[in-house]
Structure 1
Amino acid sequence: MQIRPVVHSRIIVPARWKRISNELCTINVFTSGDILVPPARVLISKHMLTSWENILAMRTGAVHRLCMLNGRTLHEAYELENNQYYVAVGVERFQPLPYYQLFPSKGIIYNLTDA
């Protein structure tokens, strides 16, 4: 009698895929008042999500708050949603512009996983 190994699944997925998808939050950030600049794609590690100050310092430290596209200000990291669009606001007021209508498909990528 021949003994054969048990095959549970034929799907081949690298182990790294699951680890990355569980540890990263990706957000897309527009600059307030500038609809001609594409949104920056920001990769935030799970560790960075524990500090709201580090998230606000992601782009040269000039970001004082993050707003949703409708102008609502976010106050904590748990409010961030993966693959959503936000507007970075400095000392100036939020400028309600049609950010969502004009965004291109590619932009600058910031990686906050090693900071």
Structure 2
Amino acid sequence: MVKRTLTLTGLQERERVSMCEEIDQLLGIDEVLFIHRADKLLLAYDPTHVDLDDIEAVVQRHGGEFAANWWNRVKAGYYRFVDQNVRDNAKHEPHCCHKLPPGRNRHK
């Protein structure tokens, strides 16, 4: 589970509630909160099931977008990087460091 905070722009008052409801229906979303005074979207989600691009698509369908300021772009890029690492690590099959390499005999 990861927690994310991003600033949004362009959302009308009536779209905020329906946007949050639609995001909340995505698989892997644990919590969605919109702080309307600061135009901040707070999220908690499992990046193995949903990613920031899925959430951004919902925001755009409701007429909003991630704010284009420098800090918001840096955070969004970092969030995407970390989410991809979480997905890659979830797919990785662990191995034991104490095993002999394949083809090696234990007894000589």
TM-score, normalised on structure 2? 0.30
Q: Answer 1 or 2: higher relative contact order, Cα 8 Å, separation at least 6.
A: 1
Counting helix residues as a fraction of each chain, which structure ranks higher? 2
TM-score, normalised on structure 1? 0.28
